[in-house]
Amino acid sequence: MKVYETKNIRNIALIGGAKSGKTTMAESMLFEGKIINRKGTVEDHNTVSDYRPIEIERQHSVHSSLLYTTYNDNKINIVDVPGFSDYVGETIAALRVCDTALMLVNGQSGVEATTETAWKQTEIAGSPVVFTINQLDHNSANFEETVTALKDYFGDKVTVIQYPVNPGEGFSTIIDLVLMKQLKFNEGGGEPEITEIPASEQDKAGKLHLALVERAAEGDEALMEKYFENDTLSLSEMREGIRKGLTTRTIFPVMCSSAKHGIGISRILDFVNNSCPSPLAMPAVKTKDGKVFSCSTQDPVGIFVFKTSVEQHLGEVTFFKLWGGTLTEGTDLICPRNGHKERLSQLFILNGKNREKVDKIMAGDIAIAIKLKDIKTGDSLMDPKFGDDRFEELNLPTELYTVAVKAENSTDDEKVASALNEMHRTDPTISIGLSRELRQMLIKSQGEFHLNTIKWYLKNVYKVDVETFAPKVPYRETITKAARANYRHKKQSGGSGQFGEVHMAIQPYFEGYQDPTDFPVRGTEEHELPWGGKLIFKNSIVGGAIDARFLPAILKGIMERMTEGPLTGSYARDIVVYVYDGKMHPVDSNEISFKLAGRFAFIEAFKSAGPKIMEPIYNLEVCVPEDMMGAVMTDLQGRRAIIMGMESARKNQIIKAKVPGAEMSKYVTSLSALTSGRGTFSLAYDAYQQVPTDVQEKLLKEYEESEKEED
């Protein structure tokens, strides 16, 4: 495999909506670059990109794939990214290492919800974007309407640089406004026949060319001066202006294609070569300690791992971009996360599942290594002299969809946990955890589609069947008024017995609470509870009614019961406890006796103290198209949400609300259905609040019934 210099490398991410033709585009690019001699199709299950069993079965991308093609002595690395929003983590990772996002838009359906999702990630990443309106060979394709929609959604920096002459069945001809030529392609692709623009198209082409020249000149003062002097720009100046405009996001070119028939593909590759930035033209990347990497071979070696996967016959594969230096086989680098030395004994270039061995790669290139010891997505591998310095990790989205999971056969529980942890290593947007509080194993993902992928792997790869169900809500229990109780624990079973009696008062904890005046406070212990809130434990014993050595046992009994509150078994919080009296026996009193007496005295007092269930409340922000607000607001009201305000965001409205966590199960699915996939939301924990009376009664009844079932 030829070693390519940094200036001859281009890195592009194929992003956009599902069914926009990204995998077919990748196939056509490889065919045009003569990397493959026959194009596969998604329907025939033989594309280079979608090679995994789950992708063959479902006929769409589930994981990003690393590919490459060559064109005019340049190497073009391609990361083909899944289109569904549930796989947004793959988009984020691809944009981190690619220098241009080639966003495909379905010419039949225009700007879709998944187009908007992908666009938002390019905004966050600051990525250059080139739009390609694809599938223009369909009769229902409409180039003009799609361009209008692109400008409507993404602004007037969207700039046409090509337009189709004959869209629809038989689409073959494009007017190119950079070259100012007509390009006619043969069925199947290849280099086009280049002719002058016909008279019938000259007025339209002239107006669009002028708009393009103005936009290309805007990003550079020197080009603007040349434009004012000459009323135009040369081809090389135009390309320079577009390249600078892409890196500063002041231009978003629009091209056109039919990837299925190879129409426009060679020109897209030519545009990538001549007008899209190489790694050298992109802004430098800084480490956490401020070290600058400019994708130069003069920099020290620095690697960023953007993906890990387990591949058949290879094992664990590490996908990385080299952000500095020249990397050769056998290089030893340090992983700053754990301090381990990793030897990159073998380097490969990938095309889907096909790999080619290379001896070295240059800064800016993307490659893989295998059999590394302890590397995960988001890690850095650095020259040892950098110590623990590293590149910023991936900024992955918060999980939106949570379910509880258990194996259908309880003997497989450990196997399920192990499988889920392996999946988390290769897809960090999956979060796995065993909740001791809820006594459930939880999977947190990006949505129902994402969850179904996890279940597919569990069933088909790990060979375990699982059940998923709504997770329990982490309620809290507390009290609303003061109460007192006493309990005597007495047990005699031959020999020494058990005896302990505890008199207890409790009251709610809040800032500025007052102690009772009818007994003294001799000592105070303040406990910050791991689950939030406080327990204040006070010794108010007078006259030695209970020996001080038994107070820790009483506290332990109370704490144990607070981990399983009397109302629903949830954690209790924010309570002040006074132990003010009791009795001992000279022989039978011991720690276990006072632990049990304290526990049951606490339960009796708690039930008399106006007990209340508290629920977690979240700050919710929902971003929806303006015409869909009514349905979303109605749905939120049904979820006991309190609307806090609204604000505009381009074509969308942002609804801000406070909503109980108990009402947000499967909200990602509901919002998608209400808004045809265009709605997005974020949740952030706010506080615990008391549940309404009717909700508390329902919860008490459910808990009582569940206790009967367990008995």
Query: What tens digit of pLDDT does each residue of 324-375 get?
Result: 999 999 999 999 999 999 999 999 999 988 999 999 999 999 999 998 988 9
440: nearest Cα among 418, 467, 458: 467
Burial 349-385 (b: 16+ CB within 10 A, else e): bbbbeebeebeebbbbbbbbbbebeebbbbbbbbbee
Instruction: Tell whether 23 and 152 lie within a shared domain.
Output: yes
Q: Rounded to two decimals, what is the model's pTM? A: 0.90
For 390-399, how does the pLDDT look when each residue is reduced to its tens digit (9 = 90+)? 999 999 998 9
The mean pLDDT value for 214-234 works out to 87
The per-residue pLDDT for 391 is: 96
Q: Which two tokens stand for residue 47?
A: 């594309």
120: nearest Cα among 619, 618, 623: 623
Instruction: Tell whether 517 and 568 lie within a shared domain.
Output: yes
Instruction: Tell whether 422 and 569 lie within a shared domain.
Output: no
pLDDT reading at 424 higher than 70: yes
Last residue of a domain, one of 585, 610, 635: 610
- Where residue 443 sits, what CATH number does that domain have? 3.30.70.870
Amino acid at residue number 101: A
Lowest mean pLDDT among 115-119, 139-143, 251-255, 386-390: 386-390
- Where residue 547 sits, what CATH number does that domain have? 3.30.230.10
Q: Is residue 525, in this structure, part of any structural domain at all? A: yes
Instruction: Tell whether 586 and 647 lie within a shared domain.
Output: no
Instruction: Tell whether 535 and 586 lie within a shared domain.
Output: yes
Q: Is residue 504, in this structure, part of any structural domain at all? A: yes
Instruction: Tell whether 21 and 148 lie within a shared domain.
Output: yes
Q: Does residue 383 contact residue 327 with C-beta atoms inside 8 Å?
A: no
Q: Which two tokens stand for residue 337?
A: 């996360």
Q: Does residue 699 contact residue 569 with C-beta atoms inside 8 Å?
A: no
pLDDT reading at 473 higher than 60: yes
Question: How confident is residue 230, by pLDDT bands cut at 50, 70 and 90?
Answer: confident
Instruction: Tell whether 308 and 417 lie within a shared domain.
Output: no
What's the mean pLDDT when you consider all of the chain?
93
Q: Is residue 704, in this structure, part of any structural domain at all? A: no
Number of structural domains found in the chain = 5
The per-residue pLDDT for 494 is: 66
Whole-number Å distance between alpha carbons of 92 and 12: 13
Last residue of a domain, one of 259, 281, 303: 281
Instruction: Tell whether 348 and 364 lie within a shared domain.
Output: yes
DSSP assignment letter at 26: H
Instruction: Tell whether 363 and 348 lie within a shared domain.
Output: yes
The per-residue pLDDT for 709 is: 67
Beta strands 9-16 and 100-106 are: parallel
pLDDT reading at 711 higher than 60: no
Contacting residues for 346 by C-beta, under 8 A, at least 6 apart:
329, 357, 369, 370, 371
Lowest mean pLDDT among 227-231, 476-480, 528-532: 227-231
Last residue of a domain, one of 557, 582, 610: 610
Instruction: Tell whether 112 and 208 lie within a shared domain.
Output: yes
Q: Which two tokens stand for residue 2?
A: 């030829």
> Cα 538–543–545 angle (5° rounding)?
70
The mean pLDDT value for 231-243 works out to 91
Q: Is residue 244, in this structure, part of any structural domain at all? A: yes
- Where residue 177 sits, what CATH number does that domain have? 3.40.50.300
Instruction: Tell whether 322 and 196 lie within a shared domain.
Output: no
Q: Report the C-alpha dihedral over residues 210, 214, 215, 216, rounded to 10 degrees.
A: 100
Whole-number Å distance between alpha carbons of 52 and 63: 9
- Where residue 638 sits, what CATH number does that domain have? 3.30.70.240
Q: Does residue 624 contact residue 675 with C-beta atoms inside 8 Å?
A: yes
Q: Is residue 316, in this structure, part of any structural domain at all? A: yes
Q: Is residue 1, in this structure, part of any structural domain at all? A: no
Q: Is residue 176, in this structure, part of any structural domain at all? A: yes
pLDDT reading at 510 higher than 60: yes
CA 287 to chain centre: 22
For 178-208, how does the pLDDT look when each residue is reduced to its tens digit (9 = 90+)? 999 999 999 988 999 999 999 999 999 999 9
For 278-329, how does the pLDDT look when each residue is reduced to its tens digit (9 = 90+)? 999 999 999 999 999 999 999 999 999 999 998 777 788 999 999 999 999 9
Instruction: Tell whether 140 and 246 lie within a shared domain.
Output: yes
The per-residue pLDDT for 65 is: 95
- Where residue 334 sits, what CATH number does that domain have? 2.40.30.10
641: nearest Cα among 619, 664, 659: 659
Domain that residue 456 falls in: 401-469
The mean pLDDT value for 151-161 works out to 95
Q: Is residue 703, in this structure, part of any structural domain at all? A: no
pLDDT reading at 532 higher than 60: yes
- Residue count (the chain): 711
Q: Does residue 516 contact residue 610 with C-beta atoms inside 8 Å?
A: no
